Amino acid sequence: MKIIVPLENKSLDAPVCPSFGRTPLFVLFDTEKETEEFLNNEAAASQGGAGIKAAQMLVDNGAKAVITYRLGENAAQVLNAANIEIYKAQDGTVKDNIEKFKEGKLSLLTEIHPGFHNHGGGGK
| Euclidean distance between CA atoms 90 and 73, whole angstroms | 20
Which of 105, 117 has the CB closer to other proteins? 117
31 near other proteins (CB under 8 A): no
47 near other proteins (CB under 8 A): yes
50 near other proteins (CB under 8 A): yes
Q: Does an H or E element contain 40, and which?
A: strand 35-40
Among 10, 102, 105, 117, binds other proteins (CB under 8 A): 117
Q: What type of residue is 51?
A: G
Q: What type of residue is 12?
A: L
Exposed e or buried b per residue across 47-68, where buried means at least 16 C-beta atoms within 10 angstroms of its C-beta: eebbbbbbbbbbbeeebebbbb
| Euclidean distance between CA atoms 31 and 20, whole angstroms | 21
Tell me, residue by residue from 52 to 91, as one string, x for binding to other proteins by CB under 8 A and - for no binding.
Answer: xx-xx--x--------------x--xx--xxx--------
Which of 77, 90 has the CB closer to other proteins? 77
Q: Apex CA 61: angle with CA 5 and CA 120, to 5°?
A: 45
Which of 1, 45 has the CB closer to other proteins? 45
Residues found near other proteins in the complex (CB under 8 A)? 43, 46-50, 52-53, 55-56, 59, 74, 77-78, 81-83, 117
